[in-house]
Amino acid sequence: MRSRTRATLALALSLTLAATSFAADKAKKSDTDKDAAKYPVPAGLHGFTGTLEGTVVSVQDHMRGFVMKVTKVLHVNSESKAKNPESAVGEKIEITPTVTKTKDGKYVPDEREVRYIQSLEKGQDIQLDVSNVDATHLRIDDLTKAEKAQAERQKK
């Protein structure tokens, strides 16, 4: 009977420890993921396509995106429909990789862009070509040769 009680106590303890570890991991990820949800695309940037300069605030592993504080709008492409791109200056915004739809209907992020995002570090100053097509996401539009090389280094 004592061995059954010990086994029950051991099982309860291991489940408690596992749940505590899971909750801590979830809280850590959700704190990081909350950054992205807090920083929607500013209304004046809806329809934007061009180049932004800014500082990396955080990188979300789970979301495969990052938050950047915009310091400057470097270029507005001629096809941009944004009404006030300069409204983004001083704002924190989330930027995510381009996604494509597979034959089985799943959305898959561009792996090179994901690696580039994972290579970024908090506090790093960057310039990036981005576009906004759905009013809720600012996506990487194109990586420069240097950014592609940085992504390849992350792969190794």
Is residue 8 a part of any domain in this protein?
Answer: no
Which contacts (CB < 8 Å, 24+ apart) does range 73-76 have? 74/50, 74/127, 75/50, 75/51, 76/48, 76/49, 76/50
Quick one: pLDDT at residue 155? 63
Task: Write out the chain's pLDDT in tens, 156 residues.
Answer: 555 555 554 444 444 444 444 444 444 434 444 544 678 899 999 999 999 999 999 998 766 799 999 999 999 999 999 999 999 999 999 999 999 899 999 989 998 999 999 999 999 999 999 999 887 889 999 888 887 788 778 765
The pLDDT, as a whole number, for residue 15 is 44
Instruction: Tally the domains of the chain.
Output: 1
Residue 3 lies in a domain: no
Residue type, 145: K
Check residue 18 and give its pLDDT: 44
Is 137 part of a structural domain of the chain?
A: yes
CATH number at residue 136: 2.40.50.140
pLDDT score of 2: 57
For residue 91, give its domain range.
Answer: 39-155
pLDDT value at residue 153:
80
Give domain status of residue 100, yes or no. yes
Closest CA to 148 of 128, 132, 124: 128
CB 95 within 8 A of CB 65: yes
The pTM (predicted TM-score) of the whole model is 0.72
